[in-house]
Amino acid sequence: MQVNRELFDHVMVPNYNPSEVIPVKGKGSRVWDQKGDEYIDFAGGIAVNCLGHSHPNLVNALKEQGEKIWHLSNVMTNEPALRLAKKITDATFADKVYFANSGAEANEAALKLARRFALDNYGEHKSKIIAFNKGFHGRTFFTVTVGGQAAYSDGFGPKPADIVHCDYNDLETLKSLIDDNTCAVMMEPLQGEGGIISPTQEFAEGVRALCDQHNALLIFDEVQTGVGRTGHLYAYQGLNVTPDILTTAKALGGGFPIGAMITTTDIAKHLKIGTHGSTYGGNPLACAVAEAAFNTVNTESVLTGVQQKEAMFRELLEAINTKYNVFSEIRGKGLLLGAVLNEQFEGRARDFLVASMKHGLMTLVAGTNVVRFTPSLVIEEDDIKAGLARFELAVADVVNG
Ligand SMILES: *Cc1c(COP(=O)(O)O)cnc(C)c1O
């Protein structure tokens, strides 16, 4: 069988438009395609591959658990899930964990829990959910409606109700929207898909205060920012603003699908037996790999390493910009970085991505105006240098037409 990009168009639902390149192997921050061409990976599977490709700790965990037990269902619990939950709760504000299989599912659980908590404690009127424009929370109908791009939730019939949106970093508008009927405010503690937008400290603290004032739960969607990405285990720890519910996925499994919703005992108790569930949630194979990823990332050396690597990225990107004058700003935190195109190149982020690919570099975009980098948290300095040398060639290509 000829397995190529053409086959995609024959057999796959056309909701994606993937690259012509089909990778077949990865090691660390290098990836090889069917032809044996090599790429440096600054995309990290969209902030998922926190330890690069084929990290020995993850491969060993997968092999070991693979020879023990793969799946049980939630009729039984299992050792890897309990160990992982204990480690997550020990390392965060949370006391309780609900395992899911993806970011959207973790967020779905968070939103359902917030609604149930408000219903049980205050009554049916308290159902308003406030979220932010440009925010992204996944593609289930509830989460995509809470997300801040109506285009993604339009065209599927009646939407889940009582969800309103506000601009990120706009505390005054939030103040005018929030009231005692509000059950939750959901936000990313650094908007990823929306363009790598950091909250101001004043905004983050202000949201927390407004939630407290109106007995609304603060949900942090850390699906992209979590598990070391910003140089802290979770971004809330760097902001010193603690949410009531936090969701984590992407890097949690280092490439194996898993998500989690974590919260306090007092809130968790409203998800009583039978109120919510998932066949695969807490699957032993997923939890064993996630435990290995968590153990590896949650160390002083990896987390401070992220900050050092951020500094290196920024310095080398600034040097490219000094030569070619294409960016108005390098923004983000840790290894969730965005190079924002200046007026002259406005809207052309995809051109930089395509040119990078031609020079053997995998990057991402965040919207049409930001080139996004979410590499492995343990990427070697030599790979950063080599990757950005390739990026410079790509920038030169775009600038020279
Ligand atoms: C990727 C992402 C999601 C969705 O995660 P899936 O695993 O694709 O469902 C949700 N929230 C944020 C902030 C994300 O970056």
Residue 221 in marked binding region: yes
Which residue lies with its CA nearest to atom 10 of ligand 1? 137
Instruction: State residue 103's pLDDT score.
Output: 98
Residue 166 pairs in a beta bridge with 132
Residue range 136-142: mean pLDDT, rounded:
98
Residue range 312-316: mean pLDDT, rounded:
98
Residue range 56-77: mean pLDDT, rounded:
97
What kind of architecture, by CATH, is found in domain 5-54+300-399?
A: Alpha-Beta Complex (3.90)
Instruction: State residue 208's pLDDT score.
Output: 98
Each residue of 376-386: pLDDT tens digit?
999 999 999 99
Distance 123 CA to ligand 1 centre (A): 30
Q: Which of 185, 43, 64 is nearest to 126 (CA)?
A: 185
Instruction: State residue 395's pLDDT score.
Output: 98
Residue 202 in marked binding region: no
Residue 99 in marked binding region: no
Strands 128-132 and 163-166: parallel
Q: What is the percent of the chain with per-residue pLDDT over 90, rounded to a whole number?
A: 100
Q: Which of 338, 294, 346 is nearest to 313 (CA)?
A: 338
**Counting atoms of ligand 1 from 1, which one is nearest the CA of 191?**
13
Pocket-forming residues, ligand 1, beta carbon under 6 Å: 102-104, 107, 136-138, 188, 192-193, 221, 223-224, 249-250
Each residue of 193-225: pLDDT tens digit?
999 999 999 999 999 999 999 999 999 999 999
Each residue of 17-50: pLDDT tens digit?
999 999 999 999 999 999 999 999 999 999 999 9
Residue 184 in marked binding region: no
Q: What is the C-alpha to C-alpha distance for residues 363 and 371, in angstroms, rounded to an integer?
A: 7
Instruction: State residue 278's pLDDT score.
Output: 97
Own/partner pairs, 170-173, CB within 8 angstroms, 24+ separation: 170/203, 171/202, 171/203, 171/206, 171/207, 171/210
**Counting atoms of ligand 1 from 1, which one is nearest the CA of 250?**
7
Instruction: State residue 152's pLDDT score.
Output: 97
Distance 228 CA to ligand 1 centre (A): 16
**Counting atoms of ligand 1 from 1, which one is nearest the CA of 224?**
15
Residue range 172-190: mean pLDDT, rounded:
98
Q: What integer best gives the mean pLDDT of the chain?
A: 98
**Predicted confidence band of residue 136 (pLDDT cuts 50, 70, 90):** very high
CATH code given to domain 57-297? 3.40.640.10
Residue 382 in marked binding region: no
Instruction: State residue 382's pLDDT score.
Output: 98
Distance 224 CA to ligand 1 centre (A): 7
**Predicted confidence band of residue 259 (pLDDT cuts 50, 70, 90):** very high
Distance 107 CA to ligand 1 centre (A): 8
Instruction: State residue 323's pLDDT score.
Output: 98
Instruction: State residue 306's pLDDT score.
Output: 98
Residue range 106-125: mean pLDDT, rounded:
98
Each residue of 1-17: pLDDT tens digit?
999 999 999 999 999 99
Please report, for the chain, the start and end positions of each structural domain, with discontinuous segments joined by +.
5-54+300-399, 57-297
Each residue of 237-252: pLDDT tens digit?
999 999 999 999 999 9
Residue range 350-358: mean pLDDT, rounded:
98
Which residue lies with its CA nearest to atom 15 of ligand 1? 224
**Counting atoms of ligand 1 from 1, which one is nearest the CA of 135?**
13
Instruction: State residue 315's pLDDT score.
Output: 98
Residue range 98-120: mean pLDDT, rounded:
98
Distance 156 CA to ligand 1 centre (A): 20
Instruction: State residue 34's pLDDT score.
Output: 97
The pick from 111, 136, 140 for probing ligand 1's pocket by mutation, whose C-beta has the most ligand atoms within 8 angstroms, reads 136
Instruction: State residue 201's pLDDT score.
Output: 98
User: Phi/psi of residue 116, each to 5°?
Assistant: -70, -40
Q: Give the catalytic positions in this structure.
A: 136, 221, 250
Instruction: State residue 214's pLDDT score.
Output: 98
For 318-356, letters b (16+ CB in 10 Å) and e give eebbeeeebbbebbbbbbbbbbbbeeebeebbebbbebb
